Structure 1
Amino acid sequence: MMEYQEHRLAIAPMMDWTDRHCRFFHRQLTRKALLYTEMVVADAVIHGARERLLGFDACEHPVALQLGGSDPAKLAEAARIGEAFGYDEINLNVGCPSDRVQSGTFGACLMKTPGLVAEGVAAMKDAVKIPVTVKCRIGVDDQDPEPALDVLADGVFAAGADALWVHARKAWLEGLSPKENRDIPPLDYARVYRLKARIPDQFIGINGGILTLEETRAHLRHVDGVMLGRAAYHTPGVLTGVDATLQEATPPDFDFAALIEIMADYAGRHIAAGGRLGHVSRHMVGLFHGLAGARRYRQILSTDANKPGAGPQVLRDAFAAVDLTSRSEAA
């Protein structure tokens, strides 16, 4: 556990959101948080366009590759490829409840086959030298979360897992959409706390519904790590206080002027390589949530940034609309 202990705060893997442009942006806001890719299916890693699927900027470190799959041999091969690309960690998805994940027999439905999850972890541990971790729910459908989570945790740690990140909700594989699965099943943080208390020598991280750094600090009194998801994406300004929180210090004033130029330069390089400004700007819309001028900022990024030929100056124009003096300290 101690080798992994530095990763006390992470930004969750989120499908269609945490792509390489999102991660680059988030890394400018926090140097310490562990970043995760979107889930990438093991078969795609093995047979697909690897640079498009796995490429990332060197500044993203520490960055983890999240894999989806259930075949131990394929997971091992995909993990080897991920390690060769330079990822700092391989994570197995045992929490996504979407239909396309279920049809591939991976994601949250693997909570029902903890032995297979352990086999996958063991195969990946044998294949790579970097940490191998698992992200799961507390249970699925009618499972009792008490034995279900214990059995899964015991199995993956016996197989050599370096950490278990737990989204503190059940997943309902039938009857709820993926979006509903992120809100409707009740949060049960106490269940994750009990798991940590039972196996104190293993790294247990918690995820689900955590909105502020104050809540993060409260969770860290019970578990080893906290994973921020939608709060990090929709209100990314909260990330500017992450590094100070981990050091138990007062957050310094954040240099937004420098951020403007870093993101404009990055967007310019992406556009020069054939990309569009919107690929980058879409992840930045919530940055100034609650500040004077934030509405105009969002309008510019939602409209002008998606016009044909839009360039980095659009980002500068959007930033200029915000009154930074109205910014309150991130909690």
Structure 2
Amino acid sequence: MSHFCDRREFATRMAALLASVSVPVFEFASAEQAANAPQRLVRLGINALARAPELNYFNDGHRGAAMISAHMMCTDNEFDDAAVARIGQLFDLNWANSKLCQPYPDGDPVPDAAAQVGKALAAGGTLLRQVGHDAIFAMHAIKAFEMMPELATPERTAGVCRLIRSFKPWRDVEPDPEVDPPPFAESAAAARFVLQEASEAIDRFAGYGQGFAGHMLTFGQSLIELADSGHEEYAEGCRTAFCKYVTVTRQGPQPGDRKIAPHRPSELRPEVAEYWNKRGDHTLGLGHVFKYPYAYYDLVARADDAELAEKLDAKAWRIF
């Protein structure tokens, strides 16, 4: 799979697909709206991130990040056109028409919106806050504002900053001194570190769910993406928190932890429509089904390590 797909090419493919299907996937008023379908998920997602503190900051923040993840997953990878359409349909069936995603008034963009979000993230210091979701959601918001600067209105910017400041400390242990990731700006090396930790976590937590492995992917990838997009200061500001998360994950399941039945083995992967069709119409949960594979594909591409990629692909069904 080629990692980076030209975004204009993707928009053209999406518009052609939508024009060819007999049952509309999205309800568009014009061909122009259809051509802008990929950006629609960014708009819906940033609306949700900004509004989440008014509703349920944790759950609804997940949903907002999931929509932005889905956009980036589809545009950065050569996904099957039918899979792209099905993903859009799933959002329409679940969250797109909810209060969470309703539009904000137009306004002049805030020129330093990304910096405001970054400073809200940095205010958490070295604390590990709720599995690193402050960093995960901050990265998604910054990406949305940079992809579509017109969305960085005062209301959205303020809402996202409130969201980032909402997260609470979680298992804020002393980091193991042996946990020493490469600088996040060293994209390939950092990605290999995160993928190796995720691979070990998949095995370690077999029978206990794959939240630790999945969030190793999303937390680690968010910091690498921040550094890669020019926000190394904010990424490195989260280094201690990330090392704490790796430390906790390496400890494995604890006495009394709830056992969770594993996924069934499957050769299907998110780039094909059949994967999404088999999930059904209302099984999105909090949206990890989009965030985990987005981070996974991005990290595998950055790592550029065929042996590691093969090892992970053999067990990816456990987290997808």
Q: TM-score, normalised by structure 2?
A: 0.26
- More strand per residue: 1
User: With CA pairs under 8 Å and 6+ residues apart, which has the higher RCO, 1 or 2?
Assistant: 2
- More helix per residue: 2
Which structure has the bigger radius of gyration?
1
